[in-house]
Amino acid sequence: MCGIIGYIGDKQAQPILLGGLARLEYRGYDSCGVALAGGTLEVYKDAVRVEKLAKVSPQLDGTVGIAHTRWATHGEPSRVNAHPHLDCTGKIAVVHNGVINNYQRLKQQLISEGHKFVSETDTEVIPHLIEKYYEGDLEKAVEAALREVEGSYAIIVLMADEPGLVAARKDSPLIIGIGDRENFIASDVPAILGHTDRVIYLEEGDIVVVTGDSVRVSRDGVEVDWKEHKVSWSVEDAQKAGYEHFILKEIHEQPRVIRDTLGEYISAAEPIVDVADTSLESMLILACGTSYHAALVGKYIVEELLRIPVRAELASEFSYHGQSPATTMTIVITQSGETADTLKAMKKLKEAGCRVIAVTNVVGSSATRIAEQTVYIRAGPEISVAATKSFIAQLMALYWLALSYSVLDMRTRDSLIMELRQLPEKVQQVLNNEDMISECARYLSKYENAFFIGRGINFAIALEGALKLKEISYIHAEGYAAGELKHGPFALLSPDMPVIAIVAQDNTYEAMLTNIKEVKARGSPVIALAEEGDEVIGELADSVITVPQVAPIFSPVVNTVALQLLAYYTAKQRGCPIDFPRNLAKSVTVE
């Protein structure tokens, strides 16, 4: 989704802004632009990649500016729809993340008052409203303009000849980076990594005036104190470190991510979740996309270790029909902490009196503000649009939570904890098998469709394997509960429809072998994912990807990593833009 950055200080702004935009590319975008202020405003924008914009825009002189990556919602990706947007005088420039719901009414009103619009965007009403209310004080004009606006926004306003930038947020994140004789405003931390590790996370409704050496935050017209935080992510965390793609680096980081995340939970004096007044009789887990697949794995883990009923639901659906008693322990899982559907479900639960626990990767994100409690995963910045290491870290949070409250006897629990701690080595063994997995990918890359099947706890991994393959390789893939395939999808089986079968050493094993035979009998080629030492599977499947032996409850971890590599090498073979798949955005901040 859109990304924004602003700079004001004693350095040339253009290279800092373009560098920031390059680090925002991961959010997904289709156009970008930059505006610098001197006596006049200079604006360069187009439906191009940041690299191209950097090449075609002339060197601009100025130490204050704003920039934007746009993910189209209102109006196609084009130069005219790209941000920054200007008012009629060409002196006020605005970059915006979010959606203005009442823009059509505001636009008609402004047109009737003589304002001229050039784009199809909702954003363009903002600079015109600011122009309308400007009487020599930019902050007051922004305040007045935002009083008219309904919807979500994180904006930065730049005005020629004004000494400072003005920014504001509502339902869309915005941070201030504090430097030495320079300050930054950005939609998220990666944009300013390498410049400063000191940040302020703005609150809902904040309006901020930023100069090179001052930051003034007000809420409801009253100046408020702000709190500075130290960011633990480094600039190296957000670089490729010699890997061809971010996703490959992030897949390879997973042993470290497991160690960091578990290390923190294990060393904590208290359980990671305070169950307080929830009686732990039932649990609801909500999430979207890959995080929803973690929720599905969580359902199996918690039901097995706590013996309580668990519902795993799509947050986007729950917002419209779902309900939950206040005594149910409610967890939301969101890597970014900014997914609009997830935030909406959280607000609904809160209004109904539920205590919501957020599992997230991003400090200060919106989810952490709504939640009663936050459990952080230690994945570090995830730049690739497709989630990998954050999923594995989410599973660690769920394993640890379930083990903390498990009804198992001490010996069984301790032996599971011991196995959990060995997972970094097991994942490393999967990574060491990369060449063999890439061979299977060469074979898979020739197809246009595929099924992923699994049973029990690995049904969720079939869904995740299919999602990863479709989003980065553009092969149409469907994840299915293996037993369901014969209830309809069998009609699609043929030599052109490979089936990737996840074969776990648990109570589903025999049934999976039967399913594989059924699939083979209908002509589909089978790639099986199976544990080392499985002597039978080689005789049934066309190819086998082996994963190390682990307790069945941990099999999603090794199986997921193998399927991530399978998707990666398939996408690479097909020449896809793996880190930034078409039409996708890293954090989905619209419903």
Compute the least distance from the CB of residue 334 to ligand F6R, in Å: 3
Compute the least distance from the CB of residue 349 to ligand F6R, in Å: 15
Strand extents, DSSP E, 47-190 = 64-70, 85-86, 92-97, 153-159, 165-170, 175-178, 182-186
Residue 249 is encoded by which pair of tokens?
């680096």
Residue 495: closest CA among 523, 522, 467, 515: 523
Compute the least distance from the CB of residue 397 to ligand F6R, in Å: 12
Is there a catalytic annotation at residue 520? no
Catalytic residue among 91, 132, 170, 586: 586
Do 73 and 116 meet the contact criterion of CB atoms below 8 Å apart?
Answer: no
- Kindly report whether the peptide bond that precedes residue 581 is cis, defined as omega within 30 degrees of 0: no
Compute the least distance from the CB of residue 386 to ligand F6R, in Å: 4
Between 195 and 470, CB nearer to ligand F6R: 470
- DSSP summary character for residue 202: P
Residue 399 is encoded by which pair of tokens?
């394993």
Do 363 and 374 meet the contact criterion of CB atoms below 8 Å apart?
Answer: no
Residue 360 is encoded by which pair of tokens?
């997230």
How many angstroms separate the CA atoms of 552 and 564, rounded? 19
Q: Which residue has the tokens 């059924």?
A: 518
Residue 544 is encoded by which pair of tokens?
């086998």
Is there a catalytic annotation at residue 576? no
* Distance in Å from the first CA to the final CA of the chain: 12
Between 187 and 290, CB nearer to ligand F6R: 290
Cβ-in-10-Å burial (0-12, 13-18, 19+) of 572 comes to buried
Between 251 and 550, CB nearer to ligand F6R: 251
Rounded to 5°, the CA angle 409-412-418 comes to 135
How many angstroms separate the CA atoms of 43 and 48, rounded? 15
Compute the least distance from the CB of residue 281 to ligand F6R, in Å: 27
How many angstroms separate the CA atoms of 379 and 393, rounded? 6
> What is the number of the residue whose Cβ is closest to ligand F6R?
289
Catalytic residue among 2, 288, 354, 576: 2
Between 563 and 588, CB nearer to ligand F6R: 588
Compute the least distance from the CB of residue 194 to ligand F6R, in Å: 23
Compute the least distance from the CB of residue 468 to ligand F6R, in Å: 6
Residues engaged in binding ligand F6R (CB under 6 A): 288-291, 334-336, 339, 342, 386-387, 467, 471, 587-588
Between 162 and 250, CB nearer to ligand F6R: 250
Compute the least distance from the CB of residue 551 to ligand F6R, in Å: 26
Q: Which residue has the tokens 């390879």?
A: 252
Between 367 and 457, CB nearer to ligand F6R: 367
Residue 70: closest CA among 60, 92, 85: 85
Between 360 and 515, CB nearer to ligand F6R: 360
Return the exposure string of 299-332: e unless at least 16 CB atoms fall within 10 Å of the residue's CB, then b: bbbbebbbebebbbbbbbebbeebebeeebbbbb
Helix (H, G, I), strand (E, B) or coil at 392: helix
DSSP string, 273-300: S--TT--SS-EEEEE-HHHHHHHHHHHH
* The residue type at 530: A
Is the Cα torsion angle 445, 447, 449, 455 positive or negative in sign?
A: negative
* The residue type at 393: A
Between 166 and 288, CB nearer to ligand F6R: 288
Residues taking part in catalysis: 2, 586
